[in-house]
Structure 1
């Protein structure tokens, strides 16, 4: 049985065929639904009521920092403190598209970490072209469990992340022929600190690259992890499930 630690299945692109997506998940034991707005969260909470395999995460995405005012932070606090969600995320920093509001992103990131600390919720981290600032903020403020989502950094960066007692999650790019750092990171990452994910509907793994991604394809990530580790797939999947459940 496979574990998908990060899937946007309530986004509009996938929710239009949600029944099919869930039917295709028969080989999964756990899946965390990532929500970036209130509508996605409402959909996810309804799915969780019906299916115990689901965990739900919600947070304000760094790219939306300009739109997040005090009322939206208060809304997140109420959701987190009332235990409606299992994880706060994905949150972090993204300097890839636009660096004109980096300071706003940092402020939002810190506010959300502090909410997670108080609510005793793990945090799922988005870290794109922002490694130093992201790690500096986490070292200073984070007092809860950390998942580095869709890790794409170097082995040296991963070692710094592991010092924070975090989990490192790998997605479809691990299976790509042009994968740069991910294979050596998987080999260097202790199995008890590793997660698998899809980031559905994005980053579809080989052999389905080019198609819309969904949780059932997480098996290809797990199989690649097992291959790189030189371990039986069942052993890898069992440990990844334990790692995922340790967050909650």
Structure 2
């Protein structure tokens, strides 16, 4: 009996299924404009990135942590002289980030439609719980998924747990996403396939080298190529025979 090598597919959400990073870039520019009287824009961005790095362990990923990092940066850059009005404006642009519209990326819906029913589909995303739930609801893609996992971070342990909980383990699972650091490298380390779908904007803290030597690493230009890639894996020498 021939068993398909892939029975479960995990999908990242932000910048894989819908736009996300572009809204952070817009917000960061607004933040730089607010502090233009105190420091050059590049300096503000550098200090903000440093604050984000420090705060990930405390606040995790997402808009709330980003907003707190902006406030911390404003205090540092102004040496404690930031007006309360500016703090209020930072909070306002943070709230606006929580309201941004959900714009699905090209081919996302079509790919999910073609795979639904053939594979167990799981949305695996990290960030603010309420914000991720909001975006999933507004995207109109929720009905395509058999399960949803909103996690604090994505590690090999995370993927082993999810693929074991919902399926037959990572060996017969695939993770699809735009972040090499969060979606691809740890999924492959867990034993799954990792399919990299590059996005033109990726947060600098998500940058790592491509695991090109890993046998289960694949890269596609966009999600329109995913069904064919999965079919190719299934028809090749990667089949498991039992």
User: Rg larger in 1 or in 2?
Assistant: 2
> Which has the bigger relative contact order, CA under 8 A and spacing at least 6?
2
TM-score (norm 2): 0.31
